[in-house]
Structure 1
Amino acid sequence: MKNIAVILSGCGVYDGSEIQEAVITLLAIAQQGARYRCFAPNIAQHHVINHLTGEVSEGESRNVLAEAARIARGDVEDLTLLSEKEFDAIIFVGGFGAAKNLSSFALDNDNYNVNEQVVNAAKMFANVDKPSGFMCIAPALLPMIYPVGVKGTIGKDSATASLITAQGLTHIDCEVTDIVVDDTYKIVTTPAYMLAESIDEAAVGINKLVKHVLALCK
C-alpha cells in the first residue's frame, strides 16, 4: 500500500490550508487504496484572518501546526519529523497558507522565499526521484525546490504566473479539471481553487492529481 505525506499550512483558505482542497486530497488518497500522514511546520502563522469578514484579526496569533490539526482531526506531525524513507510521494495542499506561511509569495511577490523546513522536506523527495503533487498556489514553491525550467500550473492567471516564472517555473495554462505533469521530475500540478468555482470542480482536478501521483510511485 502506498503511503503519501500531505503537507498542510494551517486551517482556512485566507490564512492556512484550503480546507476543501485538503479534505478532497485526503479522501482521494484513501479511496484510491493508499494511506496518508499529515505534516505542517511548527511555526507562527503570518497573521490570522476572520473568515467571516475577510479582515485581519488584530492582536491574534495562531500556530500553523496547531491549526492544521483541525483538518487532520488532531493527527498531524511536525514537518521536521518527516522522513522520505517512510513515504512514496508528497503532496502540498493549496490555500493562502502556502503563500503566507510556507512561503512569502503573497507578501513579497517576485522577491519571495520559501520556508527552509518546507524546502528541505520537498527536496528529500526530489533528491530520490519520488513523485510530488502541488495544487492551487502551492506550485509557487516549485522554483525553490527544482531546477530552472520545472513545469507546473496555477491555472490561467497570467499576472500571478509571471511572478513564479521569473523564479524559474515553466508555467503551462491549465483548466480547473485537468493536471500538468512534469515527467522529468515526477511533479503533478492542478489549479484547484485558483480557478474552481465549486467544490465539485476542484475535486475533478485534485482526484486526477492524486491518481497520477500514485501512478508515478515505484
Structure 2
Amino acid sequence: MSKSALILRHLAFEDLGSFAAVLSDEGYRLIHAEAGIDPLPDPLGPDLVVVLGGPIGVNDADTYPCMAAERAWLRPRLDARRPTLGICLGAQLMASALGARVAAMPHKEIGFAPLTLTRAGADGPLGQLRDAPVLHWHGEAFDIPAGAENLAATAACPTQAFAMGPAILGLQFHPEAAELPAFERWLIGHSVELAQAGVDPNSLRSQAATHGAPLKRAGQSMLRTWLRELPA
C-alpha cells in the first residue's frame, strides 16, 4: 500500500521540483493542495506533509488569511511529531507554529551559496549537501524553535535549517529547485522582486547553470536519506 504525501503549494512554479521523483520512487502517493483555495484534510492524516515556499510571509495573515489557517493546521501535526518537511515559507510556517519568531532580515538573501553545517547538520541528512551550494531566496528568517536543533547557517542567515527529532525538518533554503531550464520560471515569476532587490537575473542564471545539476543530485540524496530515517 502506498503512503500519502500532502504537498501544500503557495505558488505554481515553486513546486516540488527535483523532490517529486524521489517521493514517487520512495512509494508516496502525492496529494496536491493549493494554499488559500483547497480545503486541508485532517492534519494527522497524511503520512507526510511537505509545505512549499512562496512570496508572502508568515506575518501577513491580515492580508492573506491562509497564513493563520496553515499555522493552526500545522500545530497539532507538529505536536504529534508526524513527518513534516517545510521549505522556505513552509519552514517559517512550521517555526511559527512551534512558537518561534519569524522576522524580516536586514537584506534579502538571493542566490546560490554553500551552507555551514553544525555538527548535528553534518551528521544527519543535510550532510549530503556538504559540497553543494544551495539556492537561497528569502527576505525573512525564523528563530530556532524551542527543543529543536539548528542544522545550518550562512553569513547572511544564522538559522538555515532546524530539526525536531527525525520527523520534523525545516529548511530556509531551496534544495529542490535549481536546474535550468525550469529555473527560468523563477526568474520570470519573481522579476519584480529581483529588480527591487537589485539582483541581476543573468547572474542567477549563470549560477544555476553551474550549480543546478550538482544541487539536484545532492538535494535528492538529502531527501532520500531523510525519508528512509523516518520512524516507522
Distance apart, 1:186 and its partner CA: 2.7
Distance apart, 1:121 and its partner CA: 2.5
CA distance 1:166–1:92, change in 2 (3 Å)? closer
Contact 2:50 2:85 in 1 (8 A): yes
CA distance 1:8–1:202, change in 2 (3 Å)? farther
Taking the aligned partners of 1:146 and 1:207, their CA distance within structure 2 comes to 27
Aligned to 1:4: 5
Q: Does 1:200 align with 2:213?
A: yes
- Pick from 95, 98, 109: which aligns with 1:143? 95
Taking the aligned partners of 2:139 and 2:161, their CA distance within structure 1 comes to 17
- Pick from 182, 188, 206: which aligns with 2:169? 188
Residue 209 of structure 1 aligns with an amino acid whose one-letter code is: L
Taking the aligned partners of 1:194 and 1:215, their CA distance within structure 2 comes to 19
Contact 1:126 1:185 in 2 (8 A): no
Contact 2:86 2:169 in 1 (8 A): yes
Counterpart secondary structure, 1:138: helix
Give the number of the structure whose residues are more often helix, by fraction. Answer: 1
- Superposed CA RMSD in Å reads 4.2
Residue 223 of structure 2 aligns with an amino acid whose one-letter code is: L
Residue 167 of structure 2 aligns with an amino acid whose one-letter code is: K
Give the fraction of aligned pairs with identical amino acids, expressed as a percent.
12
Contact 1:133 1:210 in 2 (8 A): no
Taking the aligned partners of 2:162 and 2:142, their CA distance within structure 1 comes to 17
Q: Give structure 2 stretches of 5+ with no counterpart.
A: 102-119, 127-133, 155-159, 179-206
Aligned to 2:43: 84
Distance apart, 1:29 and its partner CA: 0.5
Taking the aligned partners of 1:170 and 1:195, their CA distance within structure 2 comes to 25
Distance apart, 1:166 and its partner CA: 8.8
Distance apart, 1:142 and its partner CA: 2.7
Distance apart, 1:205 and its partner CA: 2.1
Alignment of 1:1-218 (within 5 A): 1-12=2-13, 18-19=14-15, 22-41=16-35, 43=36, 65=37, 78=38, 80-94=39-53, 97=54, 99-100=55-56, 103-104=58-59, 115-148=67-100, 160=139, 163-165=141-143, 171-173=150-152, 180=161, 182-184=163-165, 186-190=167-171, 191-192=173-174, 197-198=207-208, 199-203=212-216, 204-209=218-223, 211-213=225-227, 215-218=229-232
Higher Rg: 2
Contact 1:88 1:131 in 2 (8 A): yes
Counterpart secondary structure, 2:33: strand
Give the number of the structure whose residues are more often strand, by fraction. Answer: 2
CA distance 1:187–1:113, change in 2 (3 Å)? farther
| TM-score, normalised by the number of residues in structure 2 | 0.52
Counterpart secondary structure, 1:4: strand
Q: Give structure 1 stretches of 5+ with no counterpart.
A: 13-17, 44-64, 66-77
